[in-house]
Amino acid sequence: MSHNTDVGVAVYTKVAGDAQLKTLLPDGVYWDVSASGKTRVVILKLMNHEATDMFGHCAFEQPIYLVKAVEFSTSKLNVLNAAKRIDALLNNQPLTITGYTLMTTQLMECVEYNEPDTANPDGRWQHCGAMYRVTVSPN
């Protein structure tokens, strides 16, 4: 039986398995928050999930994932390149999802900002990526 977390696992697997993205952000891929001490990561976060029922059964689901590059740096060049790679991996690309048929994966909204580091007022955390809607139908 499928469960909506299988969609997130597929997104995670696609992003975490890419050699080019690992070169840009070698500290790994994390859900919501990275491990302590990591400064070059990809963060995934489930932002929303909608299910549409028809005839008493789920016809399709549309989870929305924030997928962003995060780096401790005063330059945003690396996270911009990583965000481009993330988009190449996800936007309108195939995903293998246990228990589901993929209908589409679409970029919905871009995210780009920096925030000051709480321990170092001159340091900056660069964030760049997008929110992706993954439309799937349970098998």
The closest of 3, 2, 16, 14 to 94, measured between CA atoms, is: 14
Which residues pair with residue 116 across a beta bridge? 124
- How confident is the model over 56-89, as pLDDT tens digits? 777 788 999 999 999 999 999 999 999 999 999 9
State the Cα angle at 115 between 111 and 121, rounded to 5°. Answer: 165
Domain boundary assignment for the chain = 5-138
| H/E run at residue 30 | strand 29-31
Q: Tens digit of pLDDT for each residue in 105-127?
A: 999 999 999 999 999 989 999 99
Yes or no: say if 67 and 132 are a contact pair by the CB < 8 Å rule: yes
How many Å apart are CA 139 and CA 129, to the nearest integer? 30
Residue type, 137: S
What's 23's DSSP letter?
H
CATH (residue range 5-138): 3.30.2000.30
